[in-house]
Structure 1
């Protein structure tokens, strides 16, 4: 690439208002950035003007930082922290950018900003416990992979990373596996599923894929336990329970069917439920057989018709 044409030297740092920055197009911001970065290269880094020019270049390219930061806004870290980390990446890109390479500054800065934010997450966000040694290996592998990808233009292989770090390919894979302890998806993030009708991919939260408690399954043990207790009740009490809980009748309707007062039905239901509750909560090993024939259920006691297993 031919040398850049000589441009008048910048003797004072240009200032732009927020309104001017908003009206500036991408091409204009890129041209001004290239000019100011070129002027920075002529200055000693200790020169105050060097720092002022770099601050203007940062301001001109803040849309790049916000663009990358929004891609990570779903993380639990505060957005302001992500944005500030992106600014650090932008400053590194400004300091490392070489105008002679013929690469557009945004194309060089974007991966640098993204890599800096990714390093921030690797260093500070480990939802699962991973040993310090594996954390450091994961971060070393990740950084080397980013550097090699940027330098070579393709995704780095395990062998390339191993050669760069002076470790074995197996150790590289072990470092990559340790990253699963860092990159834990939220249950609300979901995954893409194809539409059965051939439509576009839909994102279904993982939480919706989890099974839920089956209330009927929880009642199986209760039904098995209460069945013999119901069989031991007198016919009238069993009939009242059947009408109340399976027939969904009111106490007044039950009283009319059994020829009792509503108050009597209420007392019988309350006493029966108390008895059943005490029997269910009692330790089975302490229960004893009835001592007298009067306490044993009658063999010829009638069993009312009802839902299977309800009062049989």
Structure 2
């Protein structure tokens, strides 16, 4: 549901509150099927409030348009729940309702990497407690001071602080803290020869599956146990020449099979997305 109504003129808070109370009282006397137009008018009056609350959360990992819609839907929910007979203003009721929906939306959809509920709750408690300690101590509390106040280990607090990046992780193209032109990705990247050989290992594993037990035993003795061709021949009851020919033939066959595996993988990668299925 998208809400796109806009107020037709500016009204101050007192005028808005008076008009809102009048609209809610009229709403009580209107048949259910006809209250829609009254609700639309109340929405128009409070769109600046709901949109302003949504924009407080901009640049924290969720698109502004999504936040605005969540806040506006929360406004509609507040209208349906408000009891004009309780004597309070609708604004005082709507604000915590909208704030709660925005926070719930962040809890459910705002994490790139979702931490445990324990970490989320500690993160919120730490933020509130930090503000209180700043006023009491006259300076920004250290992690140790904050952890002591919360009654948790400093390691747990460090884990909660580290999850701030779970909303919007750092880009690997971001510059490092040193101020030079080195990117974060370049700073953490390493050349791993073993990783580069993964495709070869996969292709070799597939090729080895088709060999008979005797041939696999010869390869194991030669390339794992590093036995000589003479030792292998003695174990198999064959001549050294036969072992040599078997190894030469098997290695040539494995190379051919591995080449076929790589070619098949390249073809699959090159298939356009709409044909890959």
TM-score (norm 1): 0.38
More helix by share: 2
| Greater gyration radius | 1
